Amino acid sequence: MKEFKVLPLNVLESRRLRFLPPHLDPIDVGDMSYYQQQDAILKWIYTNLKSRFFFGYLTKLSDNKIVGYHALAFEDPYESTMFLLGCPYLAKNKVDH
């Protein structure tokens, strides 16, 4: 059973960052064309993690082309690992080799 704790960052609505600070390393979460999947990932983050994070659309240079992708970055490296290991919604984006 989860215990009820009030997180100050949630109360102030400042957990989700609007920009990517330079000290965060973004994770490419693949194609997020369905808004339901985005909402499910955000709900999982708010329920299971505690630190600040960035979730948004970024661009990168790939094969001399500018490519857009959805990225996620966490302030706490521990939470980045927990997200990659525990979030059930990422398994749908993985490609079988």
Q: Is the pLDDT of residue 96 over 50?
A: no
Give the whole-angstrom CA distance, residue 74 versus residue 15. Answer: 10
Where exactly are the structural domains of the chain? 23-86
Q: What pLDDT is stored for residue 25 in this prediction?
A: 86
pLDDT digits (tens, 9 = 90+) for 15-60: 888 889 898 888 888 766 655 688 888 899 988 888 889 998 888 8
Q: What pLDDT is stored for residue 74 in this prediction?
A: 93
Give the whole-angstrom CA distance, residue 90 versus residue 94. Answer: 7
For the chain, give the mean pLDDT. 79
Q: What pLDDT is stored for residue 94 in this prediction?
A: 47
Single pTM value for the model: 0.75
How far CA 42 is from CA of 48, 63, 96, 97, in Å, comes to 10, 31, 25, 28
Secondary structure class of 91 (helix, strand, coil): coil
The fraction of the chain above a pLDDT of 70, given in percent, is 71
Kindly give, in sequence order, each residue whose CB lies less than 8 Å from that of residue 54, ignoring residues fewer than 6 positions away: 16, 17, 19, 20, 21, 24, 26, 71, 72, 73
Q: Please check whether residue 19 is in contact with residue 49, taking contact to mean a CB–CB distance below 8 angstroms.
A: no
